[in-house]
Structure 1
Amino acid sequence: MFNQHIKNLFLSRGKVVSFLLSLIAGILISIGIATYLTANVASATTYKTSWIGNTFGGGDKWVQNQIEAMYVAPNGTVYTNSGWDEAGREAGIYKDGDVIGSSVETHGWSRSGGKAITGNSKYIYLAMIQGSMGDIKADYPPEKTTWYCVRRYDLSGKPAAFSKGRGYDRSMLIVSTKGEITGLATSGNELYVSDSADNKIRVYNSETLDEIRSFSFSNPGQISVDRQGNLWIIQSKKGSNPAKILHYSQQGKQLPEQIADVVKPQAIAIDNQNRLLVAENDSRQQVLIYNIKKKPVLTGTFGSKGGIYQGTAGEISDLKFYGITGVGTDAAGNIYINSNGFNYSGTDLRKFSPTGKLQWQLLGLHFVDNADTDPASDGIEVFTKQEQFVMNYNKPADQQATYKAYTINPFKYPQDPRLHTAPTSAFFRRIKGKPFMFLTDIFASFIEIYRFNPNSDGKIAIPAGMFWGTPEKDGKPVAVSWLPNIPKEGEWIWGDRNGNGAFDKGEYDSLPKDYPYLGGLWVDSKGDVWKTLRTLDGIGIRHYPLQGLDRNGNPIYTSSSLQKQKTPSIFTDIRRIEYFPETDTMYLSGFTVDHPAVGDDATIAGSEIARFDNWSKGNRTPRWRTVIPYDTTGKREVSTAAMSVAGDYVFAVTVKTAEVYVYKTATGAEVQKLKPGAEVKGESGWIDMPYGIRAFRRSNGQYLVFVEEDAKGKVIVYNLPK
């Protein structure tokens, strides 16, 4: 999934060729050519491309994934740091609501970003990680060694070497080989570094980067320097010891002032009035403002108390924050705040005037994610694993999506599986008229089920059920710390029988031991769950019929209702499944006797898609079967990642080129191919997920096709007319 090369995809253009032919033959051929060109030009131009989840469409403009730290320069330039950005913008540079660059070469070659960043009038200092590269002549860590570095850049984002610098370009200061840098700050000609592994604050000359001194500090986090030149340092919570913010002189002497009334201080900054701003990342979800002239006194707050959970829970508004990871101010007193959500949901970076008015907002919300639409909204309400959007398809591509809600509440539902797992794909369904969201991951290893209750929870998705299994290591069950009540071994179904969104005792139904290797998952329009297993016994389809809704509105599934169904004989390795009960039609993909796999391409869709009518009546003879792009060489340059059926078409997307092949549901014939348009700079990253495509037909006959796009932090949306 990581370090993928982004493929540039361009729309094809026909060429007009003139022929000098006899009159009759010329007329006939001209008619044929005109018909052919018209059909192909139409197929290449009748769809439009837009996107959701990122402020920008791509090319040089995209907002990075998951900002973990930021530094705001006096002129309002925002420098950021992320642990990972798929397209290499771990360290972004933003100003006036725009992307103006990045600190380069933070990606690949065993490099990644980190958790701290600071700057002065000349340089930016970035916490980063440099891993080993094996036997290589340039200066890299030895094997099995990692450098936790401060890397120096000029203000434009180019590495700035120094005489004793390490690394291939001599721009790296090695602080530790044991643990990450968790805080950075500058004052005068000094650079202060939180060395978390050694429990020290290290002080370096900011020009030569020679170490000047150090002093002990337990669990150091972010650092800020006040006008007197003294340090305010977050002491992170450890065990039963609560978090604090402590006051130190530059020489390392602890001063008596401290702040102990913050539960989870995540970020700090000094504003232009010499006040200390503290990002409280516990249930308050506010920036706390302290007068620090003498003993710190809380004099104000910024943002709604309770953050995004104030008022209509989950609903996005200007002053409602969620998962704050960064706070800063410029010389004019403007305030900058970044929210990451919880469990690395994505970037939401905002600038406010000194009076609290929103100036701009930048979004980079999606990584290994795809979207689905609430069918009752006719394609207007769109959901990803954590977010909700409202669409207006009549607007320009960059204005179609409005970020409406963030659907996780970690304070009310701390066992929400999204806080502890890595789901990737949403299936949104209406069951008995009520909305439900089903999620699975990149390996199709589980199904997470969520219900909605606007009266009690606003926009929050409430944990309602789960298909999973107790993990094993070396054949032995492994405990799951966030799920203390799960069965001791085997697979199971959880249902939230008491309606509290927690995994309580007595809420599990153990499943019979089954073949461990999944091919695919599906939730049909009735709410039935389907699984395909890569079995060798020819009975590889599992069907869990919905047994209704319980008194709390949770869907009911039981092990006793499980149905095992025969795999059609054409398949040797079944991968994807989509069943439509309204027409009793089944679509399956996988590798076949006629088109076998080369090696074990475990995560792709296979070599063929087949349609079966009258499935519930036992028919296993396909109405049609069609070969899809798949690897025949062992080099895996061509393969299909995922499929989705909607209306009159089957849509299938390839892994490396992210091209969408369109087939007729009536015949299986290929009729069109979709490529990312100019609106997204004609590019896409690889498709990493087994459900990296999702299609929907609107009531007006239009088709919406959502496609994963990790590289630039978004989901691509194709809009095809009827």
Structure 2
Amino acid sequence: MEKRLGTQFITLQQNCSQYIKKLSRNKHFRGLKIYLFILALVVGIIVTPIGDSISGTLNKLPTNTYKVATKPSYKTSWIGNTFGGSKWVQIQMAGMYVSPEGKVYINSHWDEAGREVGIYQNGDVIGKFDDLHGWGRLGGMAITGNQQYLYIAMQQGHEGKPEDDYPPKGTTWYCVRRYDLSGKPAPFTGGRGWDKSMLIINSENEVTGLATIGKELYVSDLASNRVRVFNTDTMQELRSFSVTKPGAIAIDRQNNVWVIQNHQNQAKIVRYSPQGQQLAQITDVAKPTAIAFNPQGQLLVADNSQNQQILIYKVADKPVKIGNFGDKGGIYSNIRGQVKDSKLYGITGVGTDKAGNIYVSNNGFNNTGADLRKFTPAGKLQWRLLGLQFLDNADADPDSDGKDVFTKNEHFVMDYSKNSGKEWTYKAYTLDKFRYPDDGRLHTTPTAAFVRRLSGKRLMYLSSEMMAERLLIYRFDGEIAVPCGIFGKNHLKWPPNQPKDGSWLWRDINGDGAIQSNEYKTLGAEDGSVWGWEVDSKGDIWQAAEAGYIKHYPYQKLDKNGCPIYGQGTGEKIPMPAPFKTLTRIKYIPQQDVMYLGGYTTERPNVDGDWGLVGTEIVRYDNWSKKKTLRWRIALPYNPNTDPKLHIKSMDVAGDRVFAVASKKAEVYVYQASTGKQLQILTPGAEVAGESGWVDVPYGIRAFRRSNGEYLVFVEENAKGKVMMYRLPG
């Protein structure tokens, strides 16, 4: 049976309608046929003229032909995931169960490539659970097991027929689903769903906790404020007892049940008898997210507050804290943001094996940084697995010659003498949740970084959302990227107190990284048609609007706090130059006064009506500030009649190269910037099993030329938690 996603669930813990639109275009999202039908209505006969271009003209080749020699002289590499090929570390980690033998099972709501539940052991990926990525099925935030079965919290949407035992339209089942130890669904008498392996708990809220002991399965039913107990073999309910806002569960040697409760901003961990009698409680943990017992019978508590530690309690009588694990303050201890073996961040799971080894899952903040670690009982790191990137791309610090590379949340240090996939070292996590809660990375979904040096200072700009709705601006304080500005093209739900009408700019005038109402400036009329954003090497900001104009905001200087100032009265509209009918992308090289624009022309219109793309042509203009002399036109690969469609999603320019990447197969087309001549096509190499996910974000390609002439080409790889990196000789 073909798998279909068919859901409009998770948006990375946000109300992010743009992400749902993204899912409708995802290669795994084939259940909502109406999306594909609408896109197909206007598809016509497409001509795909690709070839060499000369100044002011466009060469024409026969219909549907493409002739260019692909040069093999490049290397494929990647950043941000421990594995680069058929193996990968999932992009979210919401709950964890560790077996006595040291197998680690990680549950999550979503993984783009289908590892909603991953299985890990000895620092390796050894499997995943079946049948959670399609037909409205998603993972969840709790998981447990025994010697025969594994039990996961999951969701079932209405994407199948009710007669095949799917919920009716508008209803979601929040379930416990039973699996065998290999990751195959394990049906049972009375089970629900298409394969009879699901136990429906409610249709209102997620299952928030699971634990087993003997033949009993304990389930936190948040909707009914109860802990419910089921037989692990028959899955029949045995009893239940009242618990307000029950969360994660752990069971001690005496069969007592420990439950995390988060109610009215107050957290506690309460001990109950197996029948539900309250016995004791722990109230000194600020934000408990996970609990587990070690072989000594001590309770391990993940504290996801500013402590970012695992707390250890002796619980034989009255619970007493006897120790902790991990640096106090986690990733923000000592040098804030700097990565260290013992610094945790965004803790979602803790567990031990029968030897007492400690396992910790981290998920960053706002689902940013899947990070699984195993420690010895004494606290020495044994292995670490990373799945850091999603809807993300990388850019190099121009003053580092490519040594320092940044994604939206991470700082990597590169050593290009090493083999593919080994060049990067994870140096820092640049988001500071506790010091800067107004950071746009906590409230939106940034998708790509522009790293620039202005007045000698490093700054980072982030394109935000898949619809390119905002441009977030950051200055650096050590390793932490401090929010200091936002360009908004229209009125949005976030941030608060923004102008109700028009486009706008927020600048952090007082330098505290917080957004105050007196720090906004209205820039002009609202225009949601702006897709093109550019931050040139001098710090000027450019916008290209589908409505048919360009806006330019010149950089003036850094203020006393290091935030860039864009002056009052700037942002004049520049008319769209010929031959364009629609503008979608923009790239300006101030040292050469050269402008590159992407969009649609009369000769090559947007035939199928698809959106968010570069268009059908890239045009170079010389002497832009005075004469705007058209030098050449590149006819981009374009064929919406193929399956998958051939569209160009992103473009960039570095040195004497223009790079354009296709959205579906992620091929990178390389052109000579001086002539427009096509040079080669880059495709994923054997180092990554010859595969890539889609390029889903408007700035899914970044290019950088090192001093030795080598080109680094970073490409979004949205399927398996990494950024692709191609290395081309100069």
Q: TM-score, normalised by structure 2?
A: 0.90
SS of equivalent to 1:92: strand
Give 1:263-662 correspondences, 5 Å limit: 263-441=286-464, 442-454=466-478, 459-468=479-488, 471=491, 480=494, 483-535=495-547, 538=548, 540-619=549-628, 621-633=629-641, 637-662=645-670
Which amino acid counterpart does residue 298 of structure 1 have in structure 2?
K
Answer whether contact 1:6 1:686 (CA < 8 A) is retained: no
CA distance in 1 between partners of 2:717 and 2:28 (Å): 10
CA distance in 2 between partners of 1:505 and 1:634 (Å): 49
Which amino acid counterpart does residue 605 of structure 1 have in structure 2?
V
Does 1:101 pair with 2:127? yes
SS of equivalent to 2:23: coil
Query: Offset at 1:491?
Result: 2.2
SS of equivalent to 1:337: strand
Deviations 1:6-28 (A, max 9, x none): 89xxxxxxxxxxxxxxxxxxxxx
Q: How much identity, in percent, do the aligned residues show?
A: 57
Which amino acid counterpart does residue 692 of structure 2 have in structure 1?
S
Deviations 1:443-491 (A, max 9, x none): 110000001122xxxx11011111126636xxxxx6x4xx443334332
Deviations 1:337-373 (A, max 9, x none): 1111101002110000000000000000011100001
Deviations 1:490-524 (A, max 9, x none): 32111111111111232111121143311210100
Q: 1:469 to 1:691 in 2, by over 3 A?
A: closer
SS of equivalent to 1:547: strand
Does 1:690 pair with 2:698? yes
Deviations 1:171-207 (A, max 9, x none): 1111111110000000110000011111111110011
Match of 1:188 in 2: 214
CA distance in 2 between partners of 1:134 and 1:171 (Å): 16
Give 1:110-121 correspondences, 5 Å limit: 110-121=136-147
Query: Offset at 1:101?
Result: 0.4
CA distance in 2 between partners of 1:524 and 1:462 (Å): 21
Match of 1:57 in 2: 84
Answer whether contact 2:291 2:302 (CA < 8 A) is retained: yes
Does 1:2 pair with 2:10? no
Query: Offset at 1:166?
Result: 1.0
Answer whether contact 1:530 1:541 (CA < 8 A) is retained: yes
| Correspondence for 2:672 among 659, 664, 669 | 664
CA distance in 2 between partners of 1:286 and 1:516 (Å): 43
Answer whether contact 2:162 2:168 (CA < 8 A) is retained: no
Deviations 1:210-267 (A, max 9, x none): 01111111111100000100011000143xx401111111111111x11111111011
**Bigger mean CA offset, 511-520 vs 417-426:** 511-520
Which amino acid counterpart does residue 213 of structure 2 have in structure 1?
S
| Correspondence for 2:115 among 57, 69, 89 | 89
CA distance in 2 between partners of 1:507 and 1:232 (Å): 47
SS of equivalent to 1:618: coil
Query: Offset at 1:632?
Result: 4.7
Deviations 1:412-436 (A, max 9, x none): 1111111111001000000111100
**Bigger mean CA offset, 647-656 vs 555-564:** 555-564
Match of 1:32 in 2: none
SS of equivalent to 2:687: helix
CA distance in 1 between partners of 2:228 and 2:612 (Å): 46
| Aligned alpha-carbon RMSD (Å) | 1.6
SS of equivalent to 2:336: coil
CA distance in 2 between partners of 1:90 and 1:6 (Å): 13
Which amino acid counterpart does residue 672 of structure 2 have in structure 1?
K
Answer whether contact 1:314 1:408 (CA < 8 A) is retained: yes
Match of 1:29 in 2: none
CA distance in 2 between partners of 1:635 and 1:340 (Å): 35
Which protein has the larger Cα radius of gyration, Structure 1 or Structure 2? 1
Answer whether contact 1:641 1:687 (CA < 8 A) is retained: yes
CA distance in 2 between partners of 1:471 and 1:213 (Å): 51
| Correspondence for 2:73 among 40, 43, 46 | 46
| Correspondence for 1:252 among 262, 268, 276 | 276
Does 1:149 pair with 2:175? yes
Give 1:105-184 correspondences, 5 Å limit: 105-135=131-161, 137-184=163-210
SS of equivalent to 1:218: coil
Which amino acid counterpart does residue 569 of structure 1 have in structure 2?
A
Query: Offset at 1:635?
Result: 7.1
Q: 1:668 to 1:359 in 2, by over 3 A?
A: same
Answer whether contact 1:463 1:501 (CA < 8 A) is retained: yes
Deviations 1:533-585 (A, max 9, x none): 111xx4x1000001211111100013412221111121111010000100000
SS of equivalent to 1:418: helix
Query: Offset at 1:593?
Result: 0.9
Which amino acid counterpart does residue 595 of structure 1 have in structure 2?
R
CA distance in 1 between partners of 2:89 and 2:23 (Å): 18
Query: Offset at 1:78?
Result: 0.2
Give 1:58-77 correspondences, 5 Å limit: 58-59=85-86, 61-77=87-103
Q: Which runs of 5+ in 1 are unaligned?
A: 8-38, 473-477
CA distance in 1 between partners of 2:588 and 2:339 (Å): 35
Deviations 1:30-81 (A, max 9, x none): xxxxxxxxx95xx53210011011000121x100011000000001000110
Answer whether contact 1:328 1:337 (CA < 8 A) is retained: yes
CA distance in 2 between partners of 1:73 and 1:331 (Å): 8
How many residues are matched? 669
Q: Which runs of 5+ in 2 are unaligned?
A: 1-21, 30-67
Match of 1:14 in 2: none
Match of 2:46 in 1: none
Match of 1:80 in 2: 106
SS of equivalent to 1:308: helix
Bigger relative contact order, structure 1 or 2 (CA pairs below 8 A, ≥6 apart) = 2
Q: 1:289 to 1:106 in 2, by over 3 A?
A: same
Query: Offset at 1:393?
Result: 1.6
Deviations 1:618-652 (A, max 9, x none): 32x42000111224549771100000101111000
Match of 2:251 in 1: 225
Query: Offset at 1:527?
Result: 0.5
Answer whether contact 1:598 1:631 (CA < 8 A) is retained: no
